Amino acid sequence: MALHHGDTDDRRLTVNPLIGDADPLGAMRLSPPVHRLADTPIPPDTAYQLIHDELMLDGNAKLNLATFVTTSMEVQAEKLMGECLDKNMIDKDEYPQTAELERRCVAILADLWHAPDPDNAVGCSTTGSSEACMLAGLALKRRWMRRNADRYAAGARPNLVMGVNVQVCWEKFCTFWEVEARTAPMEGERFHLDAEHAVALCDEDTIGVVGILGSTFDGSYEPVAEICAALDAFQERTGIDVPVHVDGASGGMVAPFLDPELLWDFRLPRVSSINTSGHKYGLVYPGVGWALWRDKESLPEELVFRVNYLGGEMPTFALNFSRPGAEVVAQYYTFLRLGRDGFRAVQQASRDVAEYLAQEIEKLGSFRLITRGDELPVFAFTTAPGMSFDVFDVSRRLRERGWQVPAYTFPEGRTDLSVLRVVCRNGFSRDLADLLLADLTRLLPELNRQPVPLKDLGVPVRTGFHH
């Protein structure tokens, strides 16, 4: 029912009398409004059932191959989270052990990412990688402002260099904190930032370069070590020192276990900060992220606030204050539960499924692989030349079977390329991959009977890009 300006929305929920209390007639008289508070309460079981039934319309999380976010955890982790839902992370004095677990997680990540002094690492939990990126960007800007105080006062505008494939939070950072976003477009078969284009965009007003360890567009790693080496040479030529932040939202919890020889972290002196999403390949329910800096000098003191903690002071530098401690506790549980060998086994299983599924899709002959799932357990593919259907048709038909496989167009430089992307997470097994292959194989004869892609016939395209 469409609402017009000035109309009153009188829609109401219909309650089945059998889900009410002992008095079914009383339940039949219940009719709580949808968009306004009811005058009186309703029984808790009734409220639960009404919401539960509506949520059945949501997609099945196991079949959601669009999201990077963790969709299953062990019951013991869920129990711990339930026990901590009422704990406010910012209240360090009231919940000192939750604060201690946060510190342990920071130290574990600092060790994993080869920080110079892991036991005294500078870092914090956040609500996700987006907040962590904001903090890292702010630190880069403040450091640049210190070095260029006179020029900044005279009107110099800072800029941040990155590929056009960055997560949207970096665009938000540049908009919110008045930083020029300098983005390198895609070109040919290059779908992310490389060293040449990074250096070409840098100048004396560059606060930093963002390297992505695992592009959300296709799952590929950006060449962080090559970018750092090119910036070393740039500094030798110009005297301009440009730090690097690594957005390891996904790869920060994959590369240490599956690609230990890959240089991307604090082993590279130019890397000043790193973020990751605990709720992606950190294997924790949303939302938790982590931001770490190489050392205290990398995080300007004016961004650190002091909170009274057990008779002393504890620094805090997250943007948010009140938030639950449950996800931080769950992150520590995951670290304690799995250890290095456990994380390696889980991430390797996801990569094995991604590589297997990519190979089998290629064998169908109707698709061309863009990536193969051999970096992040993520791959992108498009239709082969000459097909009478496109990726949006495939995504639409797979959704009929419950699969959520996003189809989207690449950004500036390759807007001619549209792809499907598959994210293989913990819980997406080889068996489920075979079921997806069976459904895709079953659909191909029908898709091949189409004269042209449906969008050419005026059917609206449904895009589904999820970072």
pLDDT digits (tens, 9 = 90+) for 411-462: 999 999 999 999 999 999 999 999 999 999 999 999 999 988 887 777 776 6
For residues 167-202, one letter each, b for 16 or more C-beta atoms within 10 angstroms of the residue's C-beta and e for the rest, the string is bebbeebbeeeebebbbbebeeebbbbbbebbbebb
pLDDT digits (tens, 9 = 90+) for 326-384: 999 999 999 999 999 999 999 999 999 999 999 999 999 999 999 999 999 999 999 99
Q: Which helix (H) or strand (E) holds 196?
A: helix 195-200
Instruction: Output DSSP code: residue 380.
Output: E
Positive or negative torsion for Cα 223, 226, 231, 237: negative
Domain count, the chain: 3
Q: Is residue 56 part of a domain?
A: no
Q: Which helix (H) or strand (E) holds 212?
A: strand 206-212
Contact assessment for residue 291 and residue 128, using Cβ atoms and an 8 Å cutoff = no
Chain mean pLDDT for the chain = 91
Note whether 281 and 132 are same-domain residues: yes
The rounded distance, in Å, linking the Cα atoms of 328 and 270 is 29
Note whether 327 and 363 are same-domain residues: no
Using 50, 70 and 90 to split pLDDT, how confident is the model at 95? confident
The rounded distance, in Å, linking the Cα atoms of 289 and 128 is 4
Across 13-22, 23-32, 242-251, 294-303, the highest mean pLDDT is recorded for: 242-251
Using 50, 70 and 90 to split pLDDT, how confident is the model at 21? low
**Domain limits at 177?**
75-335
The rounded distance, in Å, linking the Cα atoms of 284 and 301 is 30
Note whether 40 and 90 are same-domain residues: no
Q: Is residue 63 part of a domain?
A: no
Note whether 358 and 324 are same-domain residues: no
User: Which residue do the tokens 């920060």 mark?
Assistant: 252
How large is the average pLDDT for residues 391-418?
95
Looking at 213-311, which runs of residues are DSSP E strands?
A: 244-247, 271-277, 289-293, 305-309
Q: Residue 159 in 3-state DSSP?
A: strand
For residue 166, give the CATH number of its domain: 3.40.640.10
Report the alpha-carbon angle 175-162-192, nearest 5.
130
Residue 28 predicted with pLDDT over 70? no
Which has the closest alpha carbon to 69: 250, 323, 214?
250
- 93 vs 352 pLDDT, higher one: 352
For residue 388, give the CATH number of its domain: 3.90.1150.160
Contact assessment for residue 169 and residue 133, using Cβ atoms and an 8 Å cutoff = yes
Using 50, 70 and 90 to split pLDDT, how confident is the model at 19? low
Note whether 140 and 34 are same-domain residues: no
Q: Among 302, 335, 368, where does a domain finish?
A: 335
Note whether 87 and 233 are same-domain residues: yes
Q: Is residue 217 part of a domain?
A: yes
Q: State the pLDDT at residue 1.
A: 42
% of the chain residues with pLDDT over 70: 92
